[in-house]
């Protein structure tokens, strides 16, 4: 999409103009002028359409030649507008204007720092579609978004980073939405190399032999039942004079059947999504490097299927992830923590200032926090606050959960250092306590469980049904924060 700056509102023309309206039809910038041009019948029309300016409302008003635009979109913002409200409103507009090739707007004039970026992000994300496998994809899409009126030029300048971030969300969502038969670990590793080449990031890929040689016993164990061999991808983005060093780790289970502890048919339906953590890391690395953020970042993604093939791990098997601790695998469906164990060890060995892992880790987290809020665990209060603040800026909701010492006994094993499942209650906490066993002493670490919001269950504002890319924008915002 082209993002351009137009002239003063009165001198502009085109297919559509989109303007903001606050609660109770309080006209925002440009809306006052447009309403005046349309005259008295506008209110009547808006009564009919039940439009009052609430958040989430967008109405298309035919202008009948009274404006030099064919359609006027009134975009509801409600009251108490913040950047996320603007991003969502722009997302709703993006949906409503999906077939409008040329959209002019004054939304960047909403009085908030970063308004233009939020508008671009929301608008682009609201138009996301995954139609790779549709024989007849819906073709029309907005080709031009034009800021008009005051501040248009600055808005265009400010929208560059937002476009980079939106591109990375597209990449993340595409990877998640891709069916598992098109994203074997080797295929994703090739995508990682392509991304690395395009933004200048080094990519190292370990195949099955190297995974064994590097003693990645968690990843190797989970991959035993799979026909398609595992990979481990390590991105290294190393700008000159980095201000900090952050390690990102993403769960990359390209399909989770549960292994021998097989899921139900229904339980498997969405399990191509189980690499959403790795996809968020792929997207974050692309955006961080494209934005040239002066922070060193490594991204580690263990990639494997979790399948019940003849060689599969059996419940009761004992494996040894990279840090040497032994794990009794009592449920092969608790596989994410096994592959993350190795990822976290590798991350710790690099001695970063902070490790953040992202994973669709537990159904229990989804039960606890629902579909739109991720769980956050941390071994360090400052790190937790920093990630929560970055998430708030990105408009992604996380809620901090505890790491209670006295729950550690939930994962005591009779024969090994720990088992990979705990008691039924507090399942998401037990998983986080398990991960903690693989985080090097003294390294701040934050764990993000996105089992709920990694996938959106319906189309709304800038989210669309399917892979959401949730977590990706938090990672980018966090790394930006380290740069300043
Ligand atoms: N990938 C799942 C978690 C999941 C479930 C993500 C639903 C998104 C939606 C994970 O590997 C898993 O199967 N976890 C088990 C753990 C249990 C066996 C201790 C779960 O949550 O049931
Ligand atoms: Mn599982
Ligand atoms: Zn899983």
Model confidence over 6-23: pLDDT tens digits?
999 999 999 999 999 999
CA pair distance 94, 88, nearest whole angstrom: 10
Nearest-ligand number for the alpha carbon of 251: 3
DSSP-assigned letter for residue 310 = T
Paired residues of 74 in beta bridges: 19, 59
Radius of gyration, alpha carbons of the chain: 24
Q: Spot the catalytic one: 87, 296, 320, 337.
A: 337
Q: What percent of the chain has pLDDT over 70?
A: 100
Model confidence over 74-83: pLDDT tens digits?
999 999 999 9
Residue pair 329/318 in contact (Cβ under 8 Å)? The answer is yes
Residue pair 168/476 in contact (Cβ under 8 Å)? The answer is yes
**Residue located via tokens 């953590």:** 277
Q: What's the 35 CA to ligand 1 centre distance in angstroms?
A: 52
Q: What's the 104 CA to ligand 1 centre distance in angstroms?
A: 45
Does pLDDT of 39 surpass 90? no
What was the pLDDT predicted at 138?
Answer: 77
Which structure tokens are listed for 270?
């969405």
For atom 16 of ligand 1, which residue has the closest CA? 334
CA pair distance 29, 35, nearest whole angstrom: 11
Residue of 63, 70, 58 lying closest to 13 (CA atoms)? 70
Query: With a 6 A CB cut-off, is 52 part of the ligand 1 pocket?
Result: no
Q: Quick check: is 263 catalytic?
A: yes
Average model confidence (pLDDT) across the chain: 97
Query: With a 6 A CB cut-off, is 427 part of the ligand 1 pocket?
Result: yes
pTM of the entire predicted model? 0.98
CA pair distance 102, 81, nearest whole angstrom: 26
* Segment 376-392 mean pLDDT: 98
Q: What's the 281 CA to ligand 1 centre distance in angstroms?
A: 20
* Segment 368-378 mean pLDDT: 98
Give the 3-state secondary structure of residue 352: coil
For atom 7 of ligand 1, which residue has the closest CA? 363
What was the pLDDT predicted at 452?
Answer: 98
Q: What's the 260 CA to ligand 2 centre distance in angstroms?
A: 11
Give me the residues near ligand 2 (ion), CB cutoff below 5 Å: 256, 333, 335
Q: What percent of the chain has pLDDT over 90?
A: 98
Q: SS3 string of 364-420?
A: HHHHHHCCCCEEEEECCHHHHHHHHHHHHHHCCCEEECCCCHHHHHHHCCCCCCEEC
Nearest-ligand number for the alpha carbon of 426: 1
Q: Give the mutation target among 363, 426, 434, 450 for probing the ligand 1 site: most ligand atoms within 8 A of CB.
A: 363
Let me know how long the chain is: 484
Strands 14-22 and 26-27: antiparallel
Residue of 254, 248, 247 lying closest to 178 (CA atoms)? 254
Query: With a 6 A CB cut-off, is 19 part of the ligand 1 pocket?
Result: no
Q: Quick check: is 292 catalytic?
A: no
* Segment 422-426 mean pLDDT: 92
CA pair distance 359, 344, nearest whole angstrom: 12
CA pair distance 450, 452, nearest whole angstrom: 5
What was the pLDDT predicted at 139?
Answer: 67
CA pair distance 383, 352, nearest whole angstrom: 13
Q: What's the 296 CA to ligand 2 centre distance in angstroms?
A: 32
Does pLDDT of 51 surpass 70? yes
What was the pLDDT predicted at 330?
Answer: 98
Does pLDDT of 113 surpass 70? yes
Model confidence over 209-232: pLDDT tens digits?
999 999 999 999 999 999 999 999
Which structure tokens are listed for 264?
């139900």
Model confidence over 173-194: pLDDT tens digits?
999 999 999 999 999 999 999 9
**pLDDT grade for 141, boundaries at 50, 70 and 90:** confident
DSSP-assigned letter for residue 108 = G
CA pair distance 360, 172, nearest whole angstrom: 14
Q: How far, in whole angstroms, is CA 414 from its chain's centroid? A: 39
Q: What's the 108 CA to ligand 1 centre distance in angstroms?
A: 41
CA pair distance 175, 178, nearest whole angstrom: 5
Residue of 391, 461, 390, 462 lying closest to 169 (CA atoms)? 462
Paired residues of 146 in beta bridges: 4, 104
What was the pLDDT predicted at 380?
Answer: 98
Cα angle: 288, vertex 286, 468; to 5 degrees: 100
Q: Would the CA dihedral through 366, 369, 373, 374 be positive or negative?
A: negative
Residue pair 353/369 in contact (Cβ under 8 Å)? The answer is no
Residue pair 275/305 in contact (Cβ under 8 Å)? The answer is no
Query: With a 6 A CB cut-off, is 451 part of the ligand 1 pocket?
Result: yes
122: number of CA atoms within 13 Å, CB side? Answer: 29
CA pair distance 482, 484, nearest whole angstrom: 6
Please report, for residues 75, 169, 331, 336, the alpha-carbon distance to residue 91 in angstroms, rounded to integers and kept in the order given: 10, 14, 41, 32
Instruction: For residue 52, give every residue at least 6 positions away whose Cβ sits within 8 Å of its Cβ, in sequence order, or none.
Output: 23, 24, 25, 46, 76
What was the pLDDT predicted at 140?
Answer: 73
Cα angle: 181, vertex 187, 193; to 5 degrees: 160
Query: With a 6 A CB cut-off, is 450 part of the ligand 1 pocket?
Result: no
Query: With a 6 A CB cut-off, is 449 part of the ligand 1 pocket?
Result: no
Helix (H) or strand (E) segment spanning residue 306: strand 296-306
Does pLDDT of 265 surpass 80? yes
């Amino acid at each position: 999409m082209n993002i351009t700056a137009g002239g003063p509102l009165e001198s502009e023309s085109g297919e559509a103009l989109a303007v903001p309206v606050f609660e109770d039809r309080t006209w925002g910038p440009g809306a006052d002028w447009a309403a005046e041009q349309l005259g008295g019948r506008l209110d009547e029309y808006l009564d009919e359409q039940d439009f009052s300016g609430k958040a989430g409302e967008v109405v298309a008003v035919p202008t009948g030649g009274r404006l030099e635009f064919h359609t006027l979109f009134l975009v509801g913002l409600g009251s108490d507008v913040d950047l996320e409200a603007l991003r969502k409103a722009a997302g709703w507009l993006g949906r409503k204007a999906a077939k409008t090739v040329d959209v002019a707007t004054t939304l960047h004039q909403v009085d908030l720092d970063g308004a233009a970026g939020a508008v671009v992000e929301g608008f682009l994300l609201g138009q996301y579609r995954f139609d790779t496998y549709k024989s007849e994809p819906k073709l029309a899409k907005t080709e031009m978004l034009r800021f008009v009126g005051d501040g248009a030029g600055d808005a265009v300048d400010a929208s560059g980073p937002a476009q980079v971030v939106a591109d990375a969300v597209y990449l993340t969502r595409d990877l998640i939405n891709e069916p598992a038969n098109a994203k074997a670990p080797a295929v994703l590793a090739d995508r990682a190399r392509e991304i690395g080449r395009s933004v200048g990031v080094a990519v190292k890929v370990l195949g099955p032999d190297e995974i064994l040689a590097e003693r990645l016993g968690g990843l190797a164990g989970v991959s035993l039942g799979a026909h398609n061999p595992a990979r481990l991808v390590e991105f290294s983005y190393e700008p000159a004079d980095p201000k900090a060093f952050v390690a990102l780790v993403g769960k990359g289970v390209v399909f989770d059947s549960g292994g021998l502890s097989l899921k139900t048919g229904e339980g498997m339906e969405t399990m191509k999504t189980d690499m959403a953590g790795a996809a968020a890391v792929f997207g974050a690395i692309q955006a961080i490097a494209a934005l040239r953020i002066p922070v060193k970042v490594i991204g580690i993604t263990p990639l494997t299927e979790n399948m019940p093939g003849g060689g599969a791990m059996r419940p009761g098997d004992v494996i040894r992830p990279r840090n040497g601790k032994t794990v009794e695998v009592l449920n092969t469906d608790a596989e994410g923590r096994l592959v993350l164990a190795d990822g976290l060890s590798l991350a710790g060995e690099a001695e970063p200032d902070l490790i953040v892992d992202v994973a669709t880790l537990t159904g229990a987290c989804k039960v606890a926090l629902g579909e739109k809020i991720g769980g956050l665990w941390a071994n360090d209060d400052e790190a937790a606050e920093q990630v929560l603040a970055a998430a708030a800026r990105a408009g992604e909701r996380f809620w901090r959960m505890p790491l209670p010492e006295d729950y550690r006994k939930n994962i005591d094993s009779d024969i090994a250092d720990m088992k990979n499942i705990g008691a039924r209650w507090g399942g998401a906490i037990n998983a986080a306590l398990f991960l903690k066993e693989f985080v090097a002493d003294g390294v701040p670490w934050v764990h993000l469980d996105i089992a709920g919001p990694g996938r959106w269950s319906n189309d709304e504002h800038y989210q669309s049904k399917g892979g959401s890319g949730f977590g990706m924008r938090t990672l980018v915002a966090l790394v930006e924060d380290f740069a300043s």
